Amino acid sequence: MEIIICVSSDTLCLSSLIFVQIMEEELPWLLVNEVGGIRGILHSHVPFLKKHFHLITMKEFLENRKDVGKKVQAIYLWWHKPVIDKELLQSLPNLKVIANSGVGMDHLDLNLIASFGVKMANAPRAVSSTTADTGMALLLASARRLVEVHNISISPSMDYCEADILGVKVAGATLGIIGMGRIGYKIAVRAKAFEMNILYHNRTRRKVQEEQAVGATYCKKIDSLLQQADFVMLVVSLTPQTHKLIGKRELELMKPTATLINISRGAVVDQEALVAALQTGVIRAAALDVTAPEPLPRDHALLKLKNVIITPHLGIKTDKATYMITEEAVENILAALNGLPLPSEVLPS
């Protein structure tokens, strides 16, 4: 909403106010968590959002739930916030759409949201390359023990022996990708450039031409991939079927020299089994961008292991990718508010 105040050019004093005109139709109201901070929309996205919406934060909504609730037509979820529950949905009678700032929708009760007649969208276009980069960064960092060698390099004594910095050769090693959707495939593209052999498992097999383009071999059974891979990368969505997909049995199938990399969701791995496997040398190392919960309690056993690298769900967090996510969200919200098909609608299964 833009307010134009016209004053007489002769006197330029307030008493000469002629009229106050409200320009433009009122913009649709968009509910966001907060601006700035760890769970808030980034400040740099706000001017873009304000071009299309009247922004209202959760704090403002909670202060005046009755009046504001009726106006909100859309929610932009930034890293799972605000939490969408029945109570919130009931207080937003005109809500039409919820846009998620990522691809994973496991934090949402899709059936509940759909039962309120609210559409949902995610942001698959924006996230793929950057998340694939995160996976490769973790693979390389773990292979070459970057965190350990960094700590040695900045230590006062720099006391180390060759064995302390000996890594694993990536070229010629076998990468097993579990989950060959958009992100999994982009990881394969990157791994090919690093001269890795690539195995993959997916619910549905990729086309032969797609496999050939990255030199990937399909493993119908996860077990066979686990037995052969030097690096296993988890890229699946979290669903009831993938919950604790990797447990004690699966870890024991892996080579003792193998590394597990998880960029999907923490709950895809049985964390207790993982801790035991890392402590007893069942596998060499793990590199985790995701844990359950996030962040882990500060005294968690995974934080004490030298053969673990943990990042705070870096996933897509780069300047460009986060901005693209907001653009994708705006596209979806505007489509829903105009009664058009949503470019990345997510339906309950």
Tell me whether residue 265 is one of the annotated catalytic residues.
yes
Q: Which of 28, 40, 82, 102 binds ligand GLV (CB under 6 A)?
A: 102
Cβ-proximal residues to 344 (8 Å cutoff; 6+ apart), any chain = 121, 122, 123, 124, 125, 328, 332
Give least dist CB 104 to ligand GLV, A: 3
Report the DSSP pairing between strands 2-7 and 17-23: antiparallel
Give least dist CB 122 to ligand GLV, A: 7
Give the rounded distance of the alpha carbon of 63 from its chain centre: 30
Tokens 């005294």, residue? 299
Give least dist CB 45 to ligand GLV, A: 16
- From CA 340, how far away is CA 78, in angstroms rounded? 23
Give least dist CB 231 to ligand GLV, A: 20
Retrieve residue 346's tokens.
Answer: 């997510």
- From CA 164, how far away is CA 139, in angstroms rounded? 18
Give least dist CB 127 to ligand GLV, A: 5
Of the candidates 142, 29, 21, the one whose C-alpha atom is nearest the C-alpha of residue 92 is 29
Radius of gyration of the chain (CA): 25
- From CA 337, how far away is CA 126, in angstroms rounded? 21
| Of residues 287-316, those binding ligand GLV (CB under 6 A) | 315-316
Q: Which of 46, 104, 109, 227 binds ligand GLV (CB under 6 A)?
A: 104
Residue 329, interface with ligand GLV (CB under 6 A)? no
Give least dist CB 6 to ligand GLV, A: 48
The single-letter code of the amino acid at 345 is E
Choose, from 190, 206, 265, 284, the residue flagged as catalytic. 265
CB closer to ligand GLV, 127 vs 132: 127
**What is the secondary structure of 273-284 as a DSSP string?**
HHHHHHHTTSSS
The single-letter code of the amino acid at 139 is L
Q: Which of 74, 98, 127, 253 binds ligand GLV (CB under 6 A)?
A: 127
CB closer to ligand GLV, 148 vs 328: 328
Whether the Cβ atoms of residue 309 and residue 147 lie closer than 8 Å to each other? yes
Retrieve residue 179's tokens.
Answer: 């989950």
Retrieve residue 233's tokens.
Answer: 């990368």
**Part in contact with ligand GLV (CB under 6 A); list of ranges 63-71, 89-97, 98-106, 302-310:** 98-106
Residue 181, interface with ligand GLV (CB under 6 A)? no
Residue 103, interface with ligand GLV (CB under 6 A)? yes
Tell me whether residue 25 is one of the annotated catalytic residues.
no
Tell me whether residue 313 is one of the annotated catalytic residues.
yes
CB closer to ligand GLV, 286 vs 316: 316
| Of residues 145-164, those binding ligand GLV (CB under 6 A) | none
Residue 82, interface with ligand GLV (CB under 6 A)? no
The residue at minimum Cβ distance from ligand GLV is: 102
Total of residues contacting ligand GLV (CB under 6 A): 6
- From CA 280, how far away is CA 14, in angstroms rounded? 79
Choose, from 34, 60, 294, 327, the residue flagged as catalytic. 294
Residue 188, interface with ligand GLV (CB under 6 A)? no
- From CA 169, how far away is CA 164, in angstroms rounded? 15
- From CA 126, how far away is CA 104, in angstroms rounded? 13
Q: Strand 119-121's sheet: what is its strand order?
A: 54-57, 29-32, 72-77, 97-100, 119-121
CB closer to ligand GLV, 61 vs 79: 79
Give least dist CB 302 to ligand GLV, A: 19
**Part in contact with ligand GLV (CB under 6 A); list of ranges 5-13, 97-105, 272-280, 341-349:** 97-105
CB closer to ligand GLV, 68 vs 127: 127
The set of catalytic residues is 265, 294, 313
Interface with ligand GLV (CB under 6 A):
102-104, 127, 315-316
